Amino acid sequence: MADPWELILHHAYVGTPGVVFDQSPGRGSHGVAVNVPDADFLSDGAQPGSGAINVQRTSMIRVRATKAWNPLRAVRAEVVCIRDVAGGTDVMIDADSFTFSLRGDGFGARFSSYPHYAEIWTHFNAFDPTFEVPTGQWMTLGFLHDGVSTMELYVDGQTVARLSRPLWPINTTTAVTIGNFSSTPTFGLAGRIDDVKVWRIDPHRVDQEFTGRPVDDSVKTCWAEWSHAFGEVLDEHRDCEIRLRQMLVRAVDGILRDGLNHGDQTRDRWRSVADDYRRLWSAGTLADIVPILADLISFLQLAGLDPLQNPDVIALLGEPCLKTIADQVPPMYCDDQFSDMIENLTKTVEKRNRNQHVATKVRGTENRGT
């Protein structure tokens, strides 16, 4: 299965003083040291030879946000650092759309999803109300915002705080600063930073997983030909393509947000099904996906979360552009596994809905008879 997270920044601060090289696969987040003299590039950090920067109050590493940073939607990060004293605000990462910092004896993150914002702090959300960030020792502090329902904080890989609530995708960002605020650079970390990593939810993961299913060459060729024909239809209807993409994103986000924010049981069920789906898809056992998805739909319907009743889904299915595109796209006949999965899932859900409708009518008749 494809990793859902894409590493977009990795600074290790090792090597030539003053040179901040991005070690992430895309190599697109190199840094520029500002007010960091060569003497503050240290050879030893959390480990001998690991490298670190000694951060002063006006020190920072500026990073230009390349295309790898947009869209973000969801983000997580880790900072290996040591704090000499617990004081006011010590910034670890600052961007247009999120800030990760220490405050007093705790730490947390704030996210912008204009016009909404969200934040999580150990001061208010820690599992242990007595939690304090240690001083004088190396540690790995981290956060996660999944863009839908969950924010978390970590210390040395252990979750110390979690907040579940309706969330919106994180805004794009144009600039990133390590070790200080971008706009008011007087809140540098009172300590040293050894390593910084930032991930975004991989925008290509769905395509990678879809095309990563094991199939023979004839099916791959057929999908390529169908995709080309589909692309030609979209090119002829650019306005419809743009509109449908926007509506599809809203519909998917709406279904996810409804399910993941409906309580712990629904959230756990949704995540379990998602893991099973990805595992079965990557193994090529599509027939086993049908009962899992059908059970999820039944579960959501009983919880009052019928996906087909979601307003964004209703709007998408009723959009005239969808019929325009569907009428011109050639049928897909060469992938029997995929076609059978869609057909069997549709039949299973329709049969269950009919049975539920009959059962409801019978119960209503019995109630009237009594």
- Give the pLDDT of residue 3: 82
Q: What angle do CA 357, 362, 367 make, to 5 degrees?
A: 125
Q: What is the pTM of this model?
A: 0.86
Q: How many CA atoms lie within 13 A of 98 on its CB side?
A: 31
C-alpha 198/C-alpha 144 separation (Å) is 10
- Give the pLDDT of residue 368: 58
- Give the pLDDT of residue 184: 81
At CB < 8 A and 24+ separation, what contacts does 112-118 make?
112/170, 112/171, 113/167, 113/168, 113/169, 113/170, 113/171, 114/171, 116/168, 118/145, 118/151, 118/163, 118/165, 118/167
Alpha-carbon 68 to chain mean position: 14
Query: Tokens for 187?
Result: 């809140």
C-alpha 261/C-alpha 140 separation (Å) is 29
The DSSP string of 196-238 is: EEEEEE-TTHHHHHHHTS---HHHHHHHHHHHHHHHHHHHHTH
- Residue spans of the chain under pLDDT 50: none
Q: Which residues contact 333 (CB under 8 A, 6 or more apart)?
A: 339
> DSSP code of 139?
E
Per-residue pLDDT of 357-370, as tens digits, reads: 555 555 555 555 55
- Give the pLDDT of residue 88: 85
| Residue 181 identity | F
The DSSP string of 285-346 is: -GGGHHHHHHHHHHHHHHTT--GGG-HHHHHHHT-HHHHHHHHHSPP--S-HHHHHHHHHHH
